[in-house]
Chains A and B, each alone.
Chain A
Amino acid sequence: MKTRLMLVLATVSLVVLFTLTASAHHSTAIYDSANPVELRGTVVEWKFTNPHCIIRLEVTNEKGEKVIWSLEGGNTAGLFRQGWTPETLKAGDKLLITVRPLRSGAPGGNYSNVRWAADGSRVNPKAVD
């Protein structure tokens, strides 16, 4: 029962997270929202831009190849209100990110739930202050 409750809460949290970070200026139809993936990788570039703040993340795939994912997330206004700035991430940071991948299978998608790979804690700039 407890496991089921946790599962429900986790699902609701995921939906809320995706809703909060949804692309405000267009539909998210190109992403496979039903099948999100967890990516663990290294930040190559962090672009604090509109309409989306971009993370380019180097990920090692199951074949041992390094692939750079181009990921879009929230907008600057939304993230800035949550404490994010152009300095929040930097190249070399190790992250764990939930991604709705492109339906095409190309290494791109829409990110949410950004965590530090070291301990799984949420990247939460306001908590640092």
Chain B
Amino acid sequence: MNLRKLVTVLALVVCAAIPAFAQTTMKYPDWSGQWERIGSLNWPPEGYEKAGPAPLTAEYKAIYDRNLELRAKGILAGDPPATCLPPGMPRVMKMSFPMEIVVTPKITYIIADWESQVRRIYTDDRDWPKYILPEFNGYSIGRWHDENKDGVYDMLSIETRGIKGPRSIDSTGVVLHENDKTIVHEEIRRIDATTIEDKITTIDDAFTKPWTIQQRYRYNDKPVWVEYVCAEGNRHVKLGDEWYFLNDAEGILEPTREGQPRLVPENRVKK
């Protein structure tokens, strides 16, 4: 091997080693603690990029309008979490209740108090699996970025696929497509000492174009963590297309809309 070849080989070895060295010396951010939603329970009409309301296709606009008609009659149409189903992605990031973020080199965990849901965001350079088992929070792969080049990661980009339904974007009655082909892209940043922001772009066949919105979360320096078991006190029961209000003490289902009969079991054993 002549000198030129030797130098070339050495240069290649050094170049190959730099990213690995950089990766091991990069620091991960401290996003620990309790983060509470800023803003209302529903997405604002204007998003991060002034995206406006969800850009529904004609078919899903008609479904939304129908849901509003049903709601006026007392039917909880288009709001799956009412029965204690998980909100799923992207609605879970609305964080009706606070969240905790746990950053580790290979996985970042987003723990939502709402329905005690856990998102696992894999940051171990894995590829997508051949088959993704659909789940309400989907399968998330993330990449860390050092936007200000200070040696500390400051932005986590995430792509989430394999999301199970039924899902709505929030509690307003806008539902996502029943084909469950949603893909969600996120960019999570800590924008100041007490604020984290998630820029969320949802690609879904219920929309005419990708929909980008933002959600910010405020740091709570006096966190109170409270167990959330939705089945314990839930009143809302869906049977077919009908909704009922559980009266468990009496053993009946109360109607929620006018003209709907009370549901009393025929063969109930009386004590």
A residues at B contact (CB < 8 Å): 22, 24-27, 29-30, 44-45, 47, 49-54, 56, 68, 70, 72, 75-77, 80-81, 102-108
Contacts and interface: CB of A to CB of B under 8 A. Distances in A.
A51 B234 contact: yes
Contacts of A102: 74, 245, 254-256
Interface in B49-72: 71-72
Interface stretch (B14-22, B23-31, B78-86): B78-86
Nearest to A22: B41
Nearest to A49: B233
B108 interface: no
Given A47-B233, A70-B249, A27 B173 contact: yes
Interface stretch (B131-139, B199-207, B257-265): B257-265
Interface string B233-247: 111100000010111
B230 interface: yes
B245 A108 contact: yes
A70 B173 contact: no
B-side interface mostly:
loop
B173 to A, nearest CB: 7
Given A50-B228, A52-B233, A106 B255 contact: yes
Nearest to B261: A104
Nearest to B37: A24
B71 A27 contact: yes
Contact of A51 (B74, B84, B171): B84
B75 interface: yes
B71, B75, B232, most chain A CB atoms within 10 A = B232
Contact of B74 (A24, A49, A104): A104
B224 A80 contact: yes
Contacts of B254: 70, 102, 104, 106-108
Interface in B100-143: 113-115
Contacts of A80: 224, 226
Interface residues of B, number: 46
A5 B243 CA distance: 40
A113 to B, nearest CB: 20
Contact of B250 (A24, A30, A52, A68): A68
Given A50-B227, A77-B226, 11 more contacts: A24-B97, A27-B76, A29-B72, A49-B229, A49-B232, A50-B228, A56-B249, A70-B246, A70-B247, A81-B224, A104-B256
B49 to A, nearest CB: 27
**What are the 7 tightest A-B residue pairs by CB atom distance, in nearest-first order?**
A49-B233, A26-B82, A103-B74, A29-B71, A106-B254, A77-B226, A104-B255
B96 interface: yes
B245 A77 contact: no
B87 to A, nearest CB: 8
Contacts of A45: 249
8 contacts: A22-B41, A26-B79, A30-B256, A30-B257, A50-B229, A51-B233, A52-B233, A106-B256
